[in-house]
Amino acid sequence: MIKKMFFPIAMTVVLMVLGLLVYVYLSPAAVMPGKLAAVPSTPVSMPVVSAPIAQPIASCPAGFVMVPGNPAYGTTDFCVMKYDAKCASTSDLSQGLEPVSGSCAGTNGNLLTGTYRNNGKGCACTGDKQVVSTASGFPITYIPEADGTANSAKIYCEAQGSHLLTNNEWMTIARNIEQVNANWCNKNGTNCGAQPGAAGMILANGHNDANNQSLAGAGTNGALIAGNDDQACYGTTTDGSNQCGGKSSQKRTLALSNGTIVWDLAGNVWQWVDAEIPRNQQPQSRTSGKLDQGWMWSEFAPGGLGTVITDDGSPPSLGYDAFRPTNPAWNSTNGVGRIYHYSASHDTNTTLYTFIRGGNWRHGYDSGAFCIHLSPVAAKTNIDDVGFRCSSPVMRSK
């Protein structure tokens, strides 16, 4: 009797186990450990993961630094020479030439000026010499902006795949650095980090007081070679300290918002800029309420000199944003520089004059990142204190 009852019960259990196994095997939602689920009849859509796209790496040529673009000036990021343009032998492009005698040594009368005389016999920076941007080397001067020959600032820049800095590029740089706190300091280059325009502080305006250490130049009254970026007042002291805060120290470096450093945008030597203006489009100025006549230095705004421009010149050559800082109240007492221009009533002279900017080692508070001089003609060669710097597109590689 027991055997007869056991057989049907056993069969029932076996069938139940087999049914359970079939269910588990066919169910994708219930996978027993060590078992694979059946492949569903409808394929499962899997997300497609794309390989990351390599972004181009932006860089600049050797001796150049990157400048953030500014839509107001129609500029995208570009590269500019970190230093005044120098001349080097092609046998060693890392070392700028520093002549203190011979036809390539810059002079003012009998005084050496710490500049490279490009129009001296055998001195043109071509052939076995090349234009470079290095800390070492005296700035190239005695060079025209453009004179129809191969020995001009424009042609030298173009020969290396660059171009002479334009005024829109200059203003892109100047408007950037004016907003960087690190550039607002005491007059001797100390206590930097003030708010732009803070009382008693200036936008560092470079080597401009005609005093310097001879170790950094060809004498004690001239242009200077550059130092390391942490030596912002290099060569400007007269007490041997060679540090900001030393006697006669002046800050020569300016920082951009991206952290890059530019040397001698203000002071040291003037810079040719690829822009020109007819004389009759230059600003007028007044002194004690009276309209000025002739060439003169003027302030952008009252303060400093008694002579102040009364307009910003005429478009398309000039206009407020073509040469002035953001704050219309800033003048040379804020370290931004001055303007040298021709003022006259109803001037009809259309002679073209080329921009030079920044000031030089002997122009004092005329110098500054916004300083502009509107009297040189492009072909003028024999100027001992006018140099240049080149600009280049950003290089992008993967």
C-alpha pair distances (Å), 193 with each of 203, 212, 250 = 10, 25, 15
Helix or strand (DSSP H, E) at 346: none
Q: What is the pLDDT of residues 183-228, one digit of tens each?
A: 999 999 999 999 999 999 999 999 999 999 988 999 999 999 999 9
Cα dihedral 170, 200, 360, 147, rounded to 10, equals 30
What pLDDT, on a 0 to 100 scale, did the predictor assign at position 208? Answer: 98
Q: What string of DSSP letters covers 294-316?
A: EEEEEBSSSBSBSEEESS---TT
Handedness of CA 104, 107, 111, 114 (dihedral sign): negative
Nearest to 134 by CA among 389, 362, 359: 389
Residue 286 and residue 292: Cα distance in Å, rounded? Answer: 5
Omega of the bond leading into 8 within 30 degrees of 0 (cis): no
Report how far residue 142's alpha carbon sits from residue 85's, in angstroms, rounded to the nearest whole number.
12
9-51, pLDDT tens digit by residue? 444 444 454 444 434 344 444 433 443 344 444 454 555 556 5
Residue 45 has a pLDDT of 54
Return the pLDDT at 5. Answer: 43
Average pLDDT over residues 281-286: 98
According to the model, what pLDDT value does residue 215 have? 86
Distance between CA atoms of residues 152 and 398, nearest Å: 35
Residues contacting residue 80 through CB under 8 Å, at least 6 positions apart: 64, 65, 67, 165, 169, 173, 262, 389, 390, 391, 392
Q: Report how far residue 222's alpha carbon sits from residue 365's, in angstroms, rounded to the nearest whole number.
A: 16
Q: What is the pLDDT of residues 85-116, one digit of tens each?
A: 999 999 999 999 999 999 999 999 899 999 99
Torsion of CA 161, 167, 172, 175, to 10 degrees: 150
Residue 383's pLDDT band (boundaries 50, 70, 90)?
very high
Q: Compute, in degrees rounded to 10, the torsion defined by CA atoms 197, 75, 387, 383.
A: -90
The helix/strand/coil state of 73 is helix
Query: Which residues lie below 8 Å from residue 371, measured CB to CB, with a gap of 6+?
Result: 266, 336, 337, 338, 339, 357, 358, 359, 363
Q: Is the pLDDT of residue 178 over 50?
A: yes
pTM attached to this predicted model: 0.86
N- to C-terminal Cα distance for the chain?
88
| Mean pLDDT value of segment 345-349 | 94
Summarize pLDDT for 103-150 with one digit per residue, the tens.
999 999 899 999 999 999 999 999 999 999 999 999 999 999 999 999
Query: Could you give the 3-state DSSP secondary structure of residue 331?
Result: coil
Q: What DSSP string runs through 3-57? A: HHHHHHHHHHHHHHHHHHHHHHHH-TT---TT-PPPPPSSPPP----PPPPPPPE
| Average pLDDT, integer, range 350-355 | 98
Q: What angle do CA 67, 194, 335 make, to 5 degrees?
A: 70
Domain boundaries, the chain: 271-384
Tell me the torsion sign for CA atoms 57, 60, 63, 67: negative
* Per-residue pLDDT, 20: 45
* Mean pLDDT rounded to a whole number for the chain: 90
| Per-residue pLDDT at 48 | 58
Give yes or no for residue 53 having a pLDDT over 90: no
Instruction: Give the pLDDT score at 397.
Output: 82
Q: Rounded mean pLDDT of 267-274?
A: 98
216-236 pLDDT per residue, tens:
999 999 999 999 999 999 999
Q: What distance in Å separates the CA atoms of residue 173 and residue 149, rounded to the nearest whole number?
A: 29
